[in-house]
Every structure is written in structure tokens, then in C-alpha cells.
């Protein structure tokens, strides 16, 4: 495998599921493992920004998306098998729209990350078959078994 398994999972959760909370979970683990790599941080912030805006947190969404664009624009247009040259302006535009939200409200919309490397696309295609979507999507951290009610006898 040419790409990290967690990175492949991030792309699946981002593009297929639009599950930005899970994107954060998997990419944060990879970011920590890779000495806080700023490229992973920028991708992480894109997901967190969309998560915040989708949950009506305008300030968090705007801040994260601006920070993401600032991080990612430092890298070549084609990095990690994806098209950052396309993603960065989309992220920057989204952040600017959020800045003007009070004057010009708009409906939430998802972004997609364009995969440019055929090997990465193959890895994503193969992993999608086994990586099941989280339904319903988590809206925040949860303890294991936190949804189960325990009855004492």
C-alpha cells in the first residue's frame, strides 16, 4: 500500500460519506503519528470547518476553513495524490461566504477532494468495500457503549 490506511479512510469519509467528524478522528491519529505534519493538519481543518458550519457554528467554521487554506496553499497543487490546487480556492471561497453569512445567508454544501493519483484511487475503491459508513453519523465524541442503557438486576 502506497498511502497510509488512515489517509485512505479520511478520503472515503470525506468524499463518500461527508462524515467530517469521522474524518477528524482518523486524520488526527495520522497527524499525531506523523509529528504534526502541517499538510495533514490542513486537511484535518477542512473537515473540522465543514463540520462546524454544518452544525451552525459560523465562527468555528470560518476560522477552521481560513486556517486550512493558509496551511494547504503552501504545498504543490498535486500533493498526497489529491488536487490541492482545486481544493484550496474552494475552501478559501467557502470561508469568505461564511464571513458574509449574516448579509448573504446560503445553504450548507459539501466539498469533494479530487483524487489525481490512480494508485490512490484504487486504494480508495478497494477500501470502500470494507469501510462501512457510520449511520447515524456521530455528532461528537462518545464513550464505548454510551448509547446502551444498563439495567441492574
DSSP secondary structure letters along 83-100: EHHHHHHHHHHHHHHHHT
State the total domains in the chain: 1
**pLDDT surpasses 90 at 4:** yes
pLDDT of residue 72: 98
The tally of CA atoms less than 13 A away on the side-chain side of residue 76 is 6
pLDDT in tens, 107-145: 999 999 999 999 999 999 999 999 988 776 666 554 444
Element (H, E) at 79: strand 78-79
Write down the residue that cell numbers 464513550 correspond to: 143
Q: What was the pLDDT predicted at 141?
A: 52
My answer on whether omega of the bond before 136 falls inside 30° of 0, hence cis, is yes
Asked if residue 143 is part of any domain, the answer here is: no
Indicate the average pLDDT of the chain: 90
Residues in the chain: 153
Residue 141 located in a structural domain: no
131 and 98 in contact (C-beta within 8 Å)? no
Q: How many CB atoms lie within 10 A of CB 120?
A: 18
What's CA 31's distance to the chain center, in Å? 13
Q: Which domain holds residue 106?
A: 5-129
Specify the pLDDT at position 146. Answer: 42
Q: Which CATH number is 67's domain given?
A: 1.10.3450.10
**Which residues have CB under 8 Å from 107's CB, separation 6+?**
none
Is 98 part of a structural domain of the chain? yes
pLDDT single digits (tens) 47-70: 999 999 999 999 999 999 999 999
Structural domain contains residue 92:
yes
Amino acid at each position: 500500500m502506497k498511502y497510509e490506511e488512515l489517509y485512505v479512510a479520511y478520503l472515503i469519509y470525506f468524499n463518500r460519506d461527508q462524515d467530517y467528524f469521522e474524518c477528524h478522528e482518523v486524520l488526527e491519529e495520522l497527524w499525531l503519528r506523523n509529528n504534526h505534519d502541517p499538510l495533514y493538519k490542513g486537511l484535518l481543518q477542512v473537515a473540522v470547518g465543514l463540520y462546524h458550519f454544518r452544525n451552525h457554528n459560523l465562527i468555528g467554521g470560518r476560522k477552521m476553513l481560513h486556517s486550512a487554506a493558509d496551511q494547504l496553499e503552501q504545498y504543490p497543487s498535486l500533493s498526497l495524490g489529491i488536487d490541492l490546487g482545486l481544493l484550496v480556492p474552494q475552501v478559501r471561497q467557502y470561508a469568505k461566504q461564511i464571513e458574509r453569512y449574516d448579509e448573504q445567508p446560503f445553504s450548507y454544501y459539501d466539498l469533494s477532494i479530487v483524487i489525481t493519483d490512480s494508485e490512490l484511487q484504487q486504494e480508495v475503491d478497494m477500501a470502500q468495500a470494507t469501510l462501512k459508513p457510520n449511520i447515524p453519523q456521530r455528532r461528537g465524541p462518545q464513550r464505548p457503549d454510551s448509547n446502551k442503557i444498563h439495567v441492574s438486576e
